Amino acid sequence: MKKLALHWKILLGMVLGVAFALIMTNFDFGKEFIKDWIKPFGTIFINSLKLIAIPLILAALIKGVSDLKDISKLSKMGGRTIGIYIVTTVMAVSIGLLLVNIVNPGKSISEETRKEMVESYGESTTKYKDSAKEQKDAGPLKALVDLVPENIFSAATSNRNMLQVIFFAVFFGVGLILIPEEKGTTVKKFFDGFNEVILKMVDLIMLAAPYGVFALLAALVVESPSLDLFKALGWYALTVVGGLILMIVIYNVLVMVFTKKSPKFFMNAIAPAQLLAFSTSSSAATLPVTMERVTEHIGVEEEVASFVLPIGATINMDGTSLYQAVAAVFIAQAFGMDLDFSTQLGIIATATLASIGSAAVPGAGMVMLVGVLGYAGIPEAGLALIFAVDRPLDMCRTVVNVTGDAAVSMLVAKSVDKLGEPHVKNWDDNYEEGK
């Protein structure tokens, strides 16, 4: 009997996790049982992925940059990468604004439901407002200052400081290029070997992926708010999901037009990373798997993938940007506000810039949304309106973020003639071939 491919195993784990949670909620002890005995395994799985995120970025980026052997190649690839990321982000925000103005989901929120949500989520709203206020008070160039770490070891202790780690890795890799090749050989071999070890750790961790997502989805079901809130926000959620699906269609069109690869090939190759992104709501946690899929199953050469994907996991948040545009207008509609065209154009710019500074971790988009609301003069208390459905939507928009990273890596690889044939047909072949 043929072994199931990894993405089918992950999907089966997700379905069984939801089914198990729904069954357990019929028992008085069910909710506590899942929280105490099932959820910890999901937490362990996420922690194991986060554990190798920083080492992976350091090893992959240093190896990728030093492999270029020419500063001009780095400049060329970097310019194209950031340029494509910005274009896709602007497209995502524009699609979000178009859909939310067509659907007008805020009109379906009743006054009674709004008051109930504000009362339920008021404390959480205050937490996000405080975080956003700290960022606003820091000044316009704070993001640039934060890019350069004062201590790389301190920066590497937190997955929220990935931009600093990326800066150090690129800087280190440039240094390796500029010194005589014979002097950098030992260092280069070390990071080549280090990168191989990290990738093997990814293989081992992914053996537990179906069990990890089972635990994550079971915990999510029992911790979800009441169904009444989901029904009240149904149109908003459908608007966001519709926009996210449209973005995935656009990625497939771009891949098909510029790389001549079929949508079926692309979606099959990236499916395990998408499912993991859905389960973890973290581009950073999914990064190791995204890199594995893009290099082994799509054919993007490692020097491109190791440069493009870590940057994408940090600054390319198309799904988050689209959600911010929809959420901002939705909250305005719920409060009876009409946003003019110029204000909505400003939302495009603000959401694009906010996505660049958004951490690749669950819930980061909510903090950045406060800045978008502040720009448009929308009441920040309106954040409470979307808390009920933010978690499942966070899962969906992370799928788009990861899919966008993979698509852009293919476009960049094709532009520099670094897109070849995949090494394996599916994840399980890695083990059968003794990789």
pLDDT at position 250 is 96
pLDDT at position 435 is 37
Own/partner contacts of 196-199, CB < 8 Å, gap of 24 or more, are 198/52, 198/55, 198/56, 198/59, 198/60, 198/288, 199/56, 199/288, 199/291, 199/292
Per-residue pLDDT of the chain (435 residues; tens, 9 = 90+): 457 777 678 778 888 998 999 899 899 899 999 999 999 998 898 788 778 778 877 887 787 777 766 677 677 788 888 889 889 988 998 999 999 999 888 776 666 665 665 565 555 555 555 655 665 566 667 667 877 888 988 888 866 566 688 788 888 988 988 888 888 889 989 988 987 888 788 778 878 888 988 998 888 778 765 554 455 567 888 999 999 999 999 999 999 999 999 999 999 999 999 999 988 887 878 888 999 999 999 999 988 888 889 888 877 788 888 988 888 888 887 776 777 777 788 777 777 766 654 545 455 566 567 667 766 777 666 666 676 567 788 889 899 999 999 999 999 999 988 888 887 654 444 433 333
Question: Which domains are present in the chain?
Answer: 6-432 (1.10.3860.10)
pLDDT at position 417 is 87
| Distance from C-alpha of 249 to C-alpha of 251, rounded to nearest angstrom | 5
Q: Cα angle at 92 between 166 and 364, to 5 degrees?
A: 50
Q: What is the dihedral of CA 379, 381, 384, 390, to 10 degrees?
A: 50
Rg for the chain, CA atoms, rounded? 22
* Neighbour count for residue 192 (Cβ, 10 Å): 14
Coil, strand or helix: which one is 419?
strand
Coil, strand or helix: which one is 78?
helix
Q: Angle at which helices 318-334 and 234-259 pack, to 10 degrees?
A: 150
Token pair 């950098």: residue: 184
